[in-house]
Amino acid sequence: MFYTLAVRPLVPGNPRMDAEHLLHRAIAFAERAHRGQPRKGTPEPYFNHPVAVGMIVLAHGHGVEAAVVGLLHDVIEDTPADRDEIEEAFGRAIAQAVVDLSEQDKTLSWEDRKTAYVEHLAGATELALPACAADKIHNLRSILWDLDAARAEGTDPAAVWHRFKRPPRQISAYHRAVHRALRGRGFSGSLLDSLDRAIERFADAVRVDPRDDRFLE
Q: Which domains does the chain have, with CATH numbers?
A: 15-206 (1.10.3210.10)
> What pLDDT is stored for residue 99 in this prediction?
98
In contact, 168 and 206? CB cutoff 8 Å: yes
Separation of first and last alpha carbons in the chain: 41
Q: Note the pLDDT tens digit of each residue in 2-28.
A: 444 434 433 334 344 488 899 999 999
> What's the Cα-to-Cα distance from 91 to each of 26, 32, 197, rounded to whole Å?
12, 19, 33
> What pLDDT is stored for residue 42 in this prediction?
87
Q: Note the pLDDT tens digit of each residue in 103-128.
A: 988 899 999 999 999 999 999 999 99
> What pLDDT is stored for residue 133 in this prediction?
98
Q: Which is higher by pLDDT, 155 or 58?
A: 58
Q: Note the pLDDT tens digit of each residue in 34-63.
A: 999 999 888 899 999 999 999 999 999 999
CA separation for the pair 112, 164 (Å, rounded): 16
Residue 70, number of CB atoms within 10 A of its CB:
33
- In this prediction the pTM is 0.91
3-state secondary structure of 88: helix
Please check the confidence at residue 209 and state whether its pLDDT lies above 90: yes
3-state secondary structure of 38: strand
Q: DSSP secondary-structure letter at 10?
A: P
How much is the mean pLDDT over the chain? 91
Region at 63 (left for phi over 0; alpha for psi -120 to 50; beta for the rest) = left
CA separation for the pair 35, 168 (Å, rounded): 29
Contacts of 50 (CB under 8 A, 6+ apart): 30, 34, 70, 71, 72, 73, 74, 75
> What pLDDT is stored for residue 49 in this prediction?
98
> What pLDDT is stored for residue 151 in this prediction?
92
Q: Which candidate, 110, 118, 209, 103, places its Cα nearest to that of 166?
A: 110
At 45, give phi and psi (nearest 5°).
-60, 135
CA separation for the pair 200, 176 (Å, rounded): 9
